[in-house]
A and B are shown apart, each in its own frame.
Chain A
Amino acid sequence: MPGMGVMVYSEDMDLELQLLGKGRELTDKLGGPLSAVVIGPEQRGADELIRHGADKVYSYKVSGLDLYSIETYRSALLEAVKRESPQVILIGSTKRGRELAPRIASALRTGCMTECIELEVDEGGGLLGRRLVYGGSALATERSQKKPHVATIPPRVFKRAEPSERKGEIIEMEMEPPRPRAVIVERRKKTREGGALESARVIVAAGRGFKRKEDLRLLEDLAEVLGAEIGCTRPLAADSGWLNEWIGISGHKVRPRLYIACGISGTVQHLAGIRDAQVVVSINKDEGANIFQASDYGIVGDLYTILPALTKALRRSKGKSRNPS
Protein backbone atom coordinates (compact mmCIF):
# COMPACT_ATOMS: atom_id res chain seq x y z
CA MET A 1 0.00 0.00 0.00
CA PRO A 2 1.66 3.23 -1.11
CA GLY A 3 2.06 5.71 1.68
CA MET A 4 3.26 9.25 1.55
CA GLY A 5 6.02 11.34 0.21
CA VAL A 6 8.37 11.45 -2.75
CA MET A 7 11.51 9.41 -3.37
CA VAL A 8 14.20 10.40 -5.84
CA TYR A 9 17.13 8.55 -7.33
CA SER A 10 19.81 9.07 -9.95
CA GLU A 11 23.34 7.75 -10.15
CA ASP A 12 24.21 11.22 -11.43
CA MET A 13 24.53 13.47 -8.35
CA ASP A 14 23.77 16.71 -10.21
CA LEU A 15 20.62 15.22 -11.63
CA GLU A 16 19.57 13.83 -8.26
CA LEU A 17 19.80 17.34 -6.78
CA GLN A 18 17.57 18.59 -9.59
CA LEU A 19 15.08 15.81 -8.80
CA LEU A 20 15.10 16.97 -5.18
CA GLY A 21 14.21 20.48 -6.38
CA LYS A 22 11.08 19.13 -8.07
CA GLY A 23 10.50 16.61 -5.28
CA ARG A 24 10.36 19.40 -2.69
CA GLU A 25 7.69 21.16 -4.71
CA LEU A 26 5.64 17.95 -4.97
CA THR A 27 5.94 17.06 -1.29
CA ASP A 28 4.79 20.57 -0.36
CA LYS A 29 1.51 19.70 -2.09
CA LEU A 30 1.30 15.99 -1.27
CA GLY A 31 2.71 15.97 2.20
CA GLY A 32 4.99 13.26 3.48
CA PRO A 33 8.78 13.09 3.56
CA LEU A 34 11.16 13.69 0.67
CA SER A 35 13.67 10.88 0.48
CA ALA A 36 16.72 10.27 -1.71
CA VAL A 37 18.65 7.11 -2.47
CA VAL A 38 22.40 6.75 -2.95
CA ILE A 39 23.92 3.55 -4.32
CA GLY A 40 27.70 3.48 -4.54
CA PRO A 41 31.06 2.27 -3.37
CA GLU A 42 31.31 4.91 -0.67
CA GLN A 43 28.56 6.25 1.48
CA ARG A 44 28.84 9.88 0.62
CA GLY A 45 26.76 12.66 -0.81
CA ALA A 46 24.07 12.17 1.80
CA ASP A 47 24.82 15.49 3.53
CA GLU A 48 24.61 17.35 0.28
CA LEU A 49 21.28 15.71 -0.56
CA ILE A 50 19.94 16.80 2.81
CA ARG A 51 21.18 20.36 2.30
CA HIS A 52 19.25 20.38 -0.99
CA GLY A 53 15.99 19.29 0.53
CA ALA A 54 16.04 15.58 1.37
CA ASP A 55 14.46 14.64 4.72
CA LYS A 56 15.87 11.12 4.56
CA VAL A 57 18.70 9.52 2.63
CA TYR A 58 18.95 5.79 2.08
CA SER A 59 22.59 5.07 1.41
CA TYR A 60 23.48 1.65 -0.02
CA LYS A 61 27.13 0.67 -0.05
CA VAL A 62 28.05 -1.50 -3.02
CA SER A 63 31.47 -1.97 -4.54
CA GLY A 64 33.22 -3.38 -7.56
CA LEU A 65 31.78 -4.02 -10.98
CA ASP A 66 28.53 -5.15 -9.39
CA LEU A 67 27.91 -1.47 -9.07
CA TYR A 68 27.11 -1.33 -12.76
CA SER A 69 24.67 -4.21 -12.82
CA ILE A 70 20.97 -3.50 -13.20
CA GLU A 71 20.12 -6.15 -10.61
CA THR A 72 22.08 -4.19 -8.00
CA TYR A 73 20.30 -0.91 -8.69
CA ARG A 74 16.96 -2.60 -8.90
CA SER A 75 17.34 -4.46 -5.60
CA ALA A 76 18.60 -1.45 -3.68
CA LEU A 77 15.94 0.92 -4.96
CA LEU A 78 13.13 -1.59 -4.45
CA GLU A 79 14.34 -2.19 -0.94
CA ALA A 80 14.23 1.53 -0.20
CA VAL A 81 10.77 1.78 -1.78
CA LYS A 82 9.55 -1.05 0.44
CA ARG A 83 10.83 0.69 3.56
CA GLU A 84 9.53 4.11 2.67
CA SER A 85 6.37 3.43 0.57
CA PRO A 86 6.55 6.71 -1.33
CA GLN A 87 3.62 7.97 -3.33
CA VAL A 88 5.86 9.30 -6.11
CA ILE A 89 9.21 7.94 -7.36
CA LEU A 90 11.33 10.20 -9.58
CA ILE A 91 14.28 8.66 -11.42
CA GLY A 92 16.90 10.56 -13.42
CA SER A 93 16.63 9.85 -17.11
CA THR A 94 20.12 8.70 -17.93
CA LYS A 95 20.50 5.46 -19.88
CA ARG A 96 20.83 3.63 -16.58
CA GLY A 97 17.80 5.40 -15.17
CA ARG A 98 15.75 4.61 -18.26
CA GLU A 99 16.33 0.90 -17.85
CA LEU A 100 15.83 1.04 -14.10
CA ALA A 101 12.54 2.98 -13.93
CA PRO A 102 10.42 0.56 -15.99
CA ARG A 103 11.80 -2.35 -13.97
CA ILE A 104 10.82 -0.69 -10.73
CA ALA A 105 7.41 0.22 -12.14
CA SER A 106 6.98 -3.34 -13.39
CA ALA A 107 7.87 -4.83 -10.01
CA LEU A 108 5.35 -2.49 -8.38
CA ARG A 109 2.77 -3.20 -11.12
CA THR A 110 2.34 0.45 -11.84
CA GLY A 111 2.80 2.90 -14.72
CA CYS A 112 5.83 4.93 -15.66
CA MET A 113 5.95 8.27 -17.48
CA THR A 114 9.32 8.58 -19.16
CA GLU A 115 11.26 11.74 -19.98
CA CYS A 116 8.89 14.19 -18.33
CA ILE A 117 9.66 17.85 -18.94
CA GLU A 118 6.81 19.07 -16.74
CA LEU A 119 5.31 17.42 -13.72
CA GLU A 120 2.52 18.42 -11.38
CA VAL A 121 0.04 16.96 -8.93
CA ASP A 122 -3.56 16.95 -10.10
CA GLU A 123 -6.59 17.34 -7.89
CA GLY A 124 -7.59 13.70 -8.00
CA GLY A 125 -4.30 12.60 -6.51
CA GLY A 126 -2.83 11.67 -9.87
CA LEU A 127 0.42 12.92 -11.32
CA LEU A 128 0.37 14.88 -14.56
CA GLY A 129 3.39 14.69 -16.82
CA ARG A 130 4.18 16.31 -20.11
CA ARG A 131 6.54 14.55 -22.49
CA LEU A 132 7.64 14.59 -26.10
CA VAL A 133 6.13 11.96 -28.37
CA TYR A 134 6.07 11.07 -32.08
CA GLY A 135 9.76 11.49 -32.67
CA GLY A 136 9.75 14.77 -30.77
CA SER A 137 7.16 16.48 -32.99
CA ALA A 138 4.42 16.65 -30.36
CA LEU A 139 3.92 17.15 -26.66
CA ALA A 140 1.65 14.73 -24.79
CA THR A 141 0.00 15.31 -21.45
CA GLU A 142 -0.29 12.09 -19.51
CA ARG A 143 -1.88 11.30 -16.19
CA SER A 144 -0.56 8.62 -13.91
CA GLN A 145 -3.51 7.32 -11.95
CA LYS A 146 -2.03 4.35 -10.17
CA LYS A 147 0.17 4.66 -7.10
CA PRO A 148 3.04 4.78 -6.66
CA HIS A 149 3.57 7.11 -9.58
CA VAL A 150 6.90 6.58 -11.35
CA ALA A 151 8.43 9.18 -13.66
CA THR A 152 11.82 9.72 -15.27
CA ILE A 153 13.23 13.23 -15.65
CA PRO A 154 15.98 14.27 -18.08
CA PRO A 155 18.94 16.39 -16.93
CA ARG A 156 18.57 20.20 -16.70
CA VAL A 157 14.77 20.21 -16.79
CA PHE A 158 14.28 21.19 -13.16
CA LYS A 159 16.39 23.41 -10.95
CA ARG A 160 18.01 22.21 -7.77
CA ALA A 161 16.81 23.85 -4.60
CA GLU A 162 19.02 26.41 -2.89
CA PRO A 163 21.12 24.61 -0.29
CA SER A 164 20.50 25.41 3.35
CA GLU A 165 21.59 23.98 6.68
CA ARG A 166 18.85 21.55 7.52
CA LYS A 167 18.53 18.32 9.41
CA GLY A 168 17.85 14.96 7.90
CA GLU A 169 18.07 11.30 8.62
CA ILE A 170 20.73 9.13 7.01
CA ILE A 171 19.96 5.44 6.83
CA GLU A 172 23.16 3.55 6.02
CA MET A 173 22.78 0.13 4.49
CA GLU A 174 25.38 -2.46 3.61
CA MET A 175 24.18 -4.46 0.67
CA GLU A 176 25.15 -7.88 -0.58
CA PRO A 177 24.34 -7.33 -4.24
CA PRO A 178 22.57 -10.13 -6.07
CA ARG A 179 24.75 -12.08 -8.48
CA PRO A 180 24.72 -10.08 -11.73
CA ARG A 181 23.05 -12.11 -14.44
CA ALA A 182 24.76 -10.23 -17.24
CA VAL A 183 28.43 -10.45 -16.30
CA ILE A 184 30.48 -7.43 -17.25
CA VAL A 185 33.70 -8.67 -18.82
CA GLU A 186 35.03 -5.33 -19.93
CA ARG A 187 34.29 -1.61 -19.65
CA ARG A 188 35.78 0.66 -22.29
CA LYS A 189 35.66 4.26 -21.13
CA LYS A 190 34.48 6.76 -23.70
CA THR A 191 35.88 10.20 -24.17
CA ARG A 192 33.04 12.63 -24.09
CA GLU A 193 32.63 15.54 -26.43
CA GLY A 194 28.90 16.07 -26.00
CA GLY A 195 29.18 18.36 -23.01
CA ALA A 196 30.80 20.93 -25.27
CA LEU A 197 27.82 20.76 -27.62
CA GLU A 198 25.28 21.31 -24.91
CA SER A 199 26.89 24.46 -23.63
CA ALA A 200 28.02 25.80 -27.03
CA ARG A 201 26.91 29.29 -28.04
CA VAL A 202 27.41 28.60 -31.73
CA ILE A 203 27.11 25.23 -33.46
CA VAL A 204 27.75 24.34 -37.08
CA ALA A 205 26.37 20.94 -37.99
CA ALA A 206 26.75 18.51 -40.84
CA GLY A 207 24.19 16.23 -42.44
CA ARG A 208 24.23 13.75 -45.26
CA GLY A 209 24.86 16.55 -47.75
CA PHE A 210 28.53 15.92 -46.97
CA LYS A 211 29.82 13.26 -49.32
CA ARG A 212 33.11 12.31 -47.66
CA LYS A 213 34.54 12.61 -44.18
CA GLU A 214 37.42 14.75 -45.49
CA ASP A 215 34.88 17.33 -46.63
CA LEU A 216 34.09 18.13 -42.99
CA ARG A 217 37.17 20.35 -43.37
CA LEU A 218 34.80 22.95 -44.87
CA LEU A 219 32.77 22.87 -41.66
CA GLU A 220 35.86 23.01 -39.46
CA ASP A 221 37.00 26.17 -41.24
CA LEU A 222 33.61 27.78 -40.64
CA ALA A 223 33.62 26.63 -37.02
CA GLU A 224 37.03 28.16 -36.48
CA VAL A 225 36.04 31.61 -37.69
CA LEU A 226 32.79 31.50 -35.70
CA GLY A 227 34.29 30.00 -32.56
CA ALA A 228 31.71 27.23 -32.96
CA GLU A 229 31.42 23.62 -31.90
CA ILE A 230 30.83 20.99 -34.57
CA GLY A 231 27.82 18.72 -34.50
CA CYS A 232 26.13 16.35 -36.89
CA THR A 233 22.99 14.31 -37.54
CA ARG A 234 22.60 10.75 -36.36
CA PRO A 235 23.53 8.95 -39.63
CA LEU A 236 26.91 10.70 -39.77
CA ALA A 237 27.78 9.55 -36.27
CA ALA A 238 25.91 6.30 -35.78
CA ASP A 239 26.15 4.88 -39.30
CA SER A 240 29.22 6.48 -40.84
CA GLY A 241 31.17 7.02 -37.65
CA TRP A 242 32.59 10.35 -38.81
CA LEU A 243 31.91 11.95 -35.42
CA ASN A 244 31.14 10.31 -32.09
CA GLU A 245 27.93 11.99 -31.05
CA TRP A 246 24.96 13.55 -32.73
CA ILE A 247 22.25 16.12 -32.18
CA GLY A 248 18.64 14.97 -32.05
CA ILE A 249 15.96 13.35 -29.96
CA SER A 250 18.14 10.33 -29.22
CA GLY A 251 21.35 12.33 -28.92
CA HIS A 252 22.20 15.78 -27.64
CA LYS A 253 19.61 18.48 -27.26
CA VAL A 254 21.34 21.78 -27.81
CA ARG A 255 20.48 25.41 -27.15
CA PRO A 256 23.00 27.65 -28.93
CA ARG A 257 22.37 31.24 -29.93
CA LEU A 258 23.22 30.32 -33.52
CA TYR A 259 22.82 26.96 -35.22
CA ILE A 260 23.96 26.50 -38.82
CA ALA A 261 22.65 23.31 -40.42
CA CYS A 262 24.67 22.31 -43.48
CA GLY A 263 23.36 19.61 -45.79
CA ILE A 264 20.79 18.55 -43.18
CA SER A 265 17.35 17.50 -44.46
CA GLY A 266 15.56 18.15 -41.16
CA THR A 267 13.95 14.97 -39.86
CA VAL A 268 11.59 15.41 -36.90
CA GLN A 269 14.11 13.56 -34.75
CA HIS A 270 16.89 16.01 -35.58
CA LEU A 271 14.65 19.07 -35.21
CA ALA A 272 13.66 17.94 -31.72
CA GLY A 273 17.31 18.36 -30.74
CA ILE A 274 17.58 21.99 -31.91
CA ARG A 275 14.23 23.32 -30.76
CA ASP A 276 15.83 25.60 -28.20
CA ALA A 277 18.30 27.19 -30.61
CA GLN A 278 17.80 30.95 -30.80
CA VAL A 279 18.53 31.39 -34.51
CA VAL A 280 18.64 28.54 -37.03
CA VAL A 281 20.34 28.94 -40.41
CA SER A 282 20.22 26.19 -42.99
CA ILE A 283 22.04 25.52 -46.20
CA ASN A 284 20.66 22.79 -48.43
CA LYS A 285 20.61 21.93 -52.14
CA ASP A 286 17.00 20.81 -52.05
CA GLU A 287 14.64 23.77 -51.80
CA GLY A 288 11.89 21.42 -50.62
CA ALA A 289 13.98 20.18 -47.66
CA ASN A 290 12.08 20.12 -44.40
CA ILE A 291 14.87 22.00 -42.62
CA PHE A 292 13.81 25.26 -44.31
CA GLN A 293 10.44 25.08 -42.54
CA ALA A 294 12.30 24.99 -39.25
CA SER A 295 14.86 27.72 -40.04
CA ASP A 296 15.03 31.45 -39.55
CA TYR A 297 17.31 31.91 -42.55
CA GLY A 298 17.73 29.50 -45.41
CA ILE A 299 20.04 29.37 -48.39
CA VAL A 300 19.22 27.02 -51.25
CA GLY A 301 22.49 25.92 -52.77
CA ASP A 302 25.50 23.67 -52.74
CA LEU A 303 27.26 23.65 -49.39
CA TYR A 304 30.53 22.89 -51.20
CA THR A 305 30.52 26.40 -52.67
CA ILE A 306 28.53 28.27 -50.02
CA LEU A 307 30.54 27.21 -46.96
CA PRO A 308 33.91 28.45 -48.30
CA ALA A 309 32.28 31.71 -49.41
CA LEU A 310 30.66 32.17 -46.00
CA THR A 311 33.88 31.39 -44.15
CA LYS A 312 35.79 33.83 -46.31
CA ALA A 313 33.24 36.61 -45.89
CA LEU A 314 33.13 36.10 -42.11
CA ARG A 315 36.91 36.23 -41.93
CA ARG A 316 36.94 39.44 -43.87
CA SER A 317 34.21 40.99 -41.73
CA LYS A 318 36.24 40.17 -38.65
CA GLY A 319 39.30 41.73 -40.26
CA LYS A 320 41.23 38.55 -39.80
CA SER A 321 41.74 37.58 -43.41
CA ARG A 322 45.30 36.47 -43.97
CA ASN A 323 45.04 36.80 -47.73
CA PRO A 324 42.92 39.84 -48.43
CA SER A 325 41.92 39.66 -52.05
Chain B
Amino acid sequence: MRRIVVLLRDAVDPSDIKVDPTTRRPAIEVAKRRIGELDKRALEEALRIREKVGGEVCTLTVGDERSKTALLEALAMGADRAYLVSVGADAWVDALTTSLLLEVALRRLSPYDLILCGEMSLDSLSSQIGPRLAELLDLPQVTYVKQLAVEGDKLRAVRDLEDADEVVQVELPAVVSVSREINEPRIPSLMSIMRAKSKPIITLDAPSLGLPREEIPRDRAIEVIGVEALRVERKRVMVKGETIEETVEKLIQHLITEGVLEG
Protein backbone atom coordinates (compact mmCIF):
# COMPACT_ATOMS: atom_id res chain seq x y z
CA MET B 1 0.00 0.00 0.00
CA ARG B 2 1.49 3.29 -1.02
CA ARG B 3 -0.91 5.98 0.01
CA ILE B 4 -4.38 5.97 1.54
CA VAL B 5 -6.38 9.19 1.31
CA VAL B 6 -9.13 9.62 3.87
CA LEU B 7 -11.81 12.18 3.02
CA LEU B 8 -12.78 14.01 6.21
CA ARG B 9 -15.70 16.33 6.53
CA ASP B 10 -15.42 19.07 9.11
CA ALA B 11 -19.00 18.56 10.22
CA VAL B 12 -21.35 20.42 12.51
CA ASP B 13 -22.00 18.40 15.67
CA PRO B 14 -25.80 17.91 15.63
CA SER B 15 -25.92 17.49 19.42
CA ASP B 16 -24.33 20.93 19.89
CA ILE B 17 -26.95 22.88 17.93
CA LYS B 18 -29.02 25.32 19.99
CA VAL B 19 -32.33 26.56 18.65
CA ASP B 20 -33.60 30.12 18.86
CA PRO B 21 -36.99 29.59 20.52
CA THR B 22 -38.73 32.44 18.68
CA THR B 23 -37.45 32.00 15.13
CA ARG B 24 -36.97 28.20 15.32
CA ARG B 25 -33.66 28.77 13.55
CA PRO B 26 -30.89 26.43 14.61
CA ALA B 27 -27.68 28.32 15.44
CA ILE B 28 -25.46 26.36 13.08
CA GLU B 29 -22.68 28.95 12.79
CA VAL B 30 -21.79 28.76 16.47
CA ALA B 31 -22.21 25.02 16.92
CA LYS B 32 -19.09 22.94 17.48
CA ARG B 33 -17.55 21.27 14.48
CA ARG B 34 -15.63 18.04 14.50
CA ILE B 35 -14.67 15.20 12.20
CA GLY B 36 -17.83 13.44 11.10
CA GLU B 37 -18.29 10.29 13.13
CA LEU B 38 -18.26 7.94 10.16
CA ASP B 39 -15.30 9.72 8.58
CA LYS B 40 -13.43 9.14 11.83
CA ARG B 41 -14.05 5.44 11.40
CA ALA B 42 -12.75 5.66 7.85
CA LEU B 43 -9.57 7.21 9.26
CA GLU B 44 -9.33 4.51 11.92
CA GLU B 45 -9.60 1.85 9.22
CA ALA B 46 -6.85 3.54 7.20
CA LEU B 47 -4.59 3.56 10.26
CA ARG B 48 -5.25 -0.14 10.87
CA ILE B 49 -4.40 -0.95 7.25
CA ARG B 50 -1.17 1.05 7.56
CA GLU B 51 -0.31 -0.87 10.72
CA LYS B 52 -0.72 -4.16 8.83
CA VAL B 53 0.75 -3.45 5.41
CA GLY B 54 2.55 -0.12 5.69
CA GLY B 55 2.08 2.97 3.54
CA GLU B 56 1.08 6.49 4.42
CA VAL B 57 -2.22 7.97 5.51
CA CYS B 58 -3.23 11.42 4.29
CA THR B 59 -6.46 13.19 5.07
CA LEU B 60 -8.23 15.56 2.71
CA THR B 61 -10.87 18.09 3.72
CA VAL B 62 -12.80 20.87 2.02
CA GLY B 63 -13.21 23.63 4.58
CA ASP B 64 -11.78 26.80 6.02
CA GLU B 65 -9.32 27.94 8.70
CA ARG B 66 -11.63 26.65 11.43
CA SER B 67 -11.31 23.14 10.01
CA LYS B 68 -7.77 22.96 11.35
CA THR B 69 -9.08 21.94 14.76
CA ALA B 70 -10.60 18.84 13.20
CA LEU B 71 -7.45 18.20 11.18
CA LEU B 72 -5.31 18.33 14.33
CA GLU B 73 -7.52 15.63 15.78
CA ALA B 74 -6.95 13.51 12.68
CA LEU B 75 -3.20 14.00 12.97
CA ALA B 76 -3.36 13.12 16.67
CA MET B 77 -5.14 9.88 15.80
CA GLY B 78 -2.18 9.03 13.60
CA ALA B 79 -2.59 10.48 10.09
CA ASP B 80 0.78 11.37 8.54
CA ARG B 81 -0.35 14.64 7.00
CA ALA B 82 -3.52 16.62 6.40
CA TYR B 83 -4.57 18.51 3.29
CA LEU B 84 -7.09 21.32 3.49
CA VAL B 85 -8.80 22.62 0.37
CA SER B 86 -9.67 26.06 1.61
CA VAL B 87 -12.84 27.67 0.27
CA GLY B 88 -12.93 30.58 2.67
CA ALA B 89 -15.10 31.04 5.73
CA ASP B 90 -18.87 30.80 5.36
CA ALA B 91 -18.69 29.60 1.79
CA TRP B 92 -21.26 26.86 1.70
CA VAL B 93 -20.30 24.39 -0.99
CA ASP B 94 -22.68 21.78 -2.28
CA ALA B 95 -21.81 18.15 -2.97
CA LEU B 96 -21.18 18.78 -6.68
CA THR B 97 -18.63 21.53 -6.02
CA THR B 98 -17.08 19.64 -3.10
CA SER B 99 -16.57 16.59 -5.26
CA LEU B 100 -15.06 18.65 -8.09
CA LEU B 101 -12.64 20.28 -5.65
CA LEU B 102 -11.74 16.90 -4.17
CA GLU B 103 -11.22 15.45 -7.63
CA VAL B 104 -8.67 18.12 -8.51
CA ALA B 105 -6.93 17.74 -5.14
CA LEU B 106 -6.86 13.94 -5.48
CA ARG B 107 -5.22 14.19 -8.86
CA ARG B 108 -2.58 16.26 -7.08
CA LEU B 109 -2.20 13.56 -4.39
CA SER B 110 -1.86 10.76 -6.94
CA PRO B 111 -0.63 8.04 -6.86
CA TYR B 112 -2.83 6.61 -4.14
CA ASP B 113 -4.16 3.09 -3.69
CA LEU B 114 -7.25 3.69 -1.68
CA ILE B 115 -9.73 6.49 -0.98
CA LEU B 116 -11.73 6.00 2.21
CA CYS B 117 -14.70 7.98 3.51
CA GLY B 118 -17.75 7.63 5.75
CA GLU B 119 -20.91 6.37 4.07
CA MET B 120 -22.83 9.47 5.16
CA SER B 121 -22.21 12.78 6.85
CA LEU B 122 -24.31 13.12 9.95
CA ASP B 123 -24.83 16.85 9.58
CA SER B 124 -25.97 17.08 5.97
CA LEU B 125 -27.28 13.49 6.04
CA SER B 126 -26.06 13.22 2.52
CA SER B 127 -24.08 10.30 1.16
CA GLN B 128 -22.79 11.61 -2.09
CA ILE B 129 -19.05 12.12 -1.92
CA GLY B 130 -17.83 8.52 -2.31
CA PRO B 131 -20.02 7.69 -5.31
CA ARG B 132 -19.41 11.07 -6.94
CA LEU B 133 -15.64 10.62 -6.75
CA ALA B 134 -15.80 7.08 -8.07
CA GLU B 135 -17.59 8.51 -11.08
CA LEU B 136 -15.25 11.48 -11.55
CA LEU B 137 -12.07 9.44 -11.11
CA ASP B 138 -13.43 6.37 -12.90
CA LEU B 139 -12.62 4.10 -9.96
CA PRO B 140 -14.45 1.09 -8.53
CA GLN B 141 -16.89 2.03 -5.78
CA VAL B 142 -17.60 -0.07 -2.70
CA THR B 143 -20.16 1.41 -0.31
CA TYR B 144 -21.61 0.50 3.13
CA VAL B 145 -18.51 -1.49 4.09
CA LYS B 146 -18.51 -3.04 7.55
CA GLN B 147 -15.43 -5.27 7.17
CA LEU B 148 -12.35 -4.61 5.11
CA ALA B 149 -9.18 -6.62 4.49
CA VAL B 150 -6.23 -6.05 2.19
CA GLU B 151 -5.30 -9.17 0.24
CA GLY B 152 -2.27 -8.45 -1.89
CA ASP B 153 -3.23 -5.83 -4.46
CA LYS B 154 -6.90 -6.43 -3.82
CA LEU B 155 -9.43 -5.59 -1.15
CA ARG B 156 -12.01 -7.90 0.28
CA ALA B 157 -14.98 -6.05 1.72
CA VAL B 158 -18.24 -7.01 3.37
CA ARG B 159 -21.04 -4.62 2.41
CA ASP B 160 -24.10 -4.16 4.58
CA LEU B 161 -27.20 -3.92 2.37
CA GLU B 162 -30.86 -4.10 3.37
CA ASP B 163 -31.53 -7.62 2.15
CA ALA B 164 -28.07 -9.17 2.25
CA ASP B 165 -24.46 -8.93 3.30
CA GLU B 166 -22.42 -8.84 0.13
CA VAL B 167 -18.80 -9.98 0.02
CA VAL B 168 -16.90 -8.27 -2.78
CA GLN B 169 -13.39 -8.34 -4.08
CA VAL B 170 -12.02 -5.28 -5.73
CA GLU B 171 -8.77 -4.22 -7.32
CA LEU B 172 -6.93 -1.13 -6.14
CA PRO B 173 -7.18 1.78 -6.41
CA ALA B 174 -10.79 2.02 -5.26
CA VAL B 175 -13.19 4.30 -3.39
CA VAL B 176 -14.56 2.69 -0.24
CA SER B 177 -17.18 4.15 2.09
CA VAL B 178 -17.51 2.65 5.55
CA SER B 179 -20.44 2.17 7.91
CA ARG B 180 -20.48 2.67 11.65
CA GLU B 181 -19.95 -1.01 12.39
CA ILE B 182 -16.51 -1.21 10.82
CA ASN B 183 -14.50 -0.33 13.92
CA GLU B 184 -14.27 1.68 17.10
CA PRO B 185 -12.00 4.67 16.51
CA ARG B 186 -9.03 5.14 18.83
CA ILE B 187 -8.80 8.00 21.30
CA PRO B 188 -5.48 9.78 20.85
CA SER B 189 -3.06 9.81 23.79
CA LEU B 190 -1.71 13.04 25.21
CA MET B 191 1.64 12.21 23.61
CA SER B 192 0.14 11.85 20.17
CA ILE B 193 -1.84 15.07 20.59
CA MET B 194 1.45 16.87 21.32
CA ARG B 195 3.15 15.19 18.39
CA ALA B 196 0.33 16.14 16.03
CA LYS B 197 1.26 19.82 16.35
CA SER B 198 4.48 19.22 14.45
CA LYS B 199 2.80 17.32 11.62
CA PRO B 200 2.05 19.18 8.41
CA ILE B 201 -1.34 20.69 7.50
CA ILE B 202 -1.04 21.63 3.85
CA THR B 203 -3.50 24.22 2.56
CA LEU B 204 -4.52 24.02 -1.06
CA ASP B 205 -6.55 27.04 -2.08
CA ALA B 206 -8.46 27.27 -5.32
CA PRO B 207 -5.79 29.15 -7.28
CA SER B 208 -3.10 26.67 -6.24
CA LEU B 209 -5.34 23.93 -7.64
CA GLY B 210 -5.73 25.89 -10.85
CA LEU B 211 -9.34 26.86 -10.17
CA PRO B 212 -10.56 30.44 -10.45
CA ARG B 213 -11.73 31.40 -6.99
CA GLU B 214 -14.95 33.06 -8.09
CA GLU B 215 -16.16 29.91 -9.79
CA ILE B 216 -16.47 27.94 -6.62
CA PRO B 217 -19.43 29.45 -4.79
CA ARG B 218 -21.20 30.49 -7.97
CA ASP B 219 -21.40 27.14 -9.60
CA ARG B 220 -23.74 25.76 -7.00
CA ALA B 221 -26.26 23.28 -8.26
CA ILE B 222 -28.09 23.24 -4.94
CA GLU B 223 -28.89 26.26 -2.82
CA VAL B 224 -30.04 25.99 0.78
CA ILE B 225 -32.99 28.31 1.15
CA GLY B 226 -33.78 27.79 4.80
CA VAL B 227 -33.26 25.53 7.78
CA GLU B 228 -35.82 25.16 10.52
CA ALA B 229 -35.46 23.20 13.73
CA LEU B 230 -38.12 20.57 14.09
CA ARG B 231 -40.54 21.17 16.88
CA VAL B 232 -40.93 18.41 19.38
CA GLU B 233 -44.47 18.75 20.58
CA ARG B 234 -44.74 16.36 23.47
CA LYS B 235 -46.64 16.73 26.71
CA ARG B 236 -43.61 16.19 28.94
CA VAL B 237 -45.62 14.97 31.92
CA MET B 238 -43.44 13.46 34.62
CA VAL B 239 -45.26 10.59 36.31
CA LYS B 240 -44.49 9.98 39.96
CA GLY B 241 -46.21 8.18 42.81
CA GLU B 242 -45.30 7.35 46.41
CA THR B 243 -44.32 3.84 45.39
CA ILE B 244 -43.28 2.20 42.14
CA GLU B 245 -46.66 0.45 42.02
CA GLU B 246 -48.43 3.78 42.31
CA THR B 247 -46.21 5.31 39.62
CA VAL B 248 -46.92 2.61 37.06
CA GLU B 249 -50.62 2.69 37.94
CA LYS B 250 -50.69 6.44 37.20
CA LEU B 251 -48.91 5.83 33.90
CA ILE B 252 -51.45 3.18 32.92
CA GLN B 253 -54.29 5.63 33.69
CA HIS B 254 -52.67 8.20 31.39
CA LEU B 255 -52.31 5.62 28.62
CA ILE B 256 -55.94 4.53 28.98
CA THR B 257 -57.02 8.18 28.72
CA GLU B 258 -54.87 8.56 25.59
CA GLY B 259 -56.60 5.51 24.15
CA VAL B 260 -53.35 3.77 23.23
CA LEU B 261 -53.73 0.66 25.36
CA GLU B 262 -55.38 -2.10 23.43
CA GLY B 263 -57.34 -5.12 24.52
Contact = CB atoms under 8 A, between A and B. Distances in A.
Contacts of A111: 94-96, 220-222
B168 A258 contact: no
Contact of A268 (B15, B157, B168): B15
B89 interface: no
Interface stretch (A31-39, A187-195, A208-216): A187-195
A131 B125 contact: yes
Given A114-B127, A258-B260, A271-B232, A138 B227 contact: yes
Interface in B154-210: 156-157, 161-171, 174, 180-181, 184
Nearest to A313: B248
A132 B127 CA distance: 13
Given A111-B221, A142-B224, A249-B125, A106 B171 contact: no
A310 interface: yes
Contact of B244 (A94, A99, A135, A305): A305
Given A143-B223, A190-B163, A258 B261 contact: yes
Contact of B255 (A281, A293, A298, A318): A281
Interface stretch (B2-10, B51-59, B106-114, B141-149): B141-149
A188 to B, nearest CB: 4
A140 B169 contact: no
B222 A145 contact: yes
B211 interface: no
A190 B128 contact: no
- Give chain A's interface secondary structure class: mixed
A297 B28 contact: no
A132 B225 CA distance: 13
Interface residues of A, number: 88
A182 B174 contact: yes
Interface string B120-152: 101111111111111110011111100000000
A242 to B, nearest CB: 14
Interface string A107-140: 1011111110000000000001001111111111
Contacts of B236: 292-293, 295-296, 298
Contact of B28 (A134, A143, A226, A318): A134
Given A70-B131, A145-B221, A184-B168, 6 more contacts: A95-B162, A145-B222, A181-B174, A184-B167, A249-B125, A313-B252
29 contacts: A70-B131, A99-B130, A99-B131, A103-B134, A103-B141, A105-B96, A105-B128, A111-B222, A133-B124, A133-B125, A133-B227, A135-B122, A137-B230, A138-B227, A140-B224, A141-B226, A143-B223, A181-B141, A182-B140, A188-B165, A202-B260, A269-B14, A278-B260, A295-B235, A296-B237, A297-B239, A297-B254, A298-B238, A301-B247
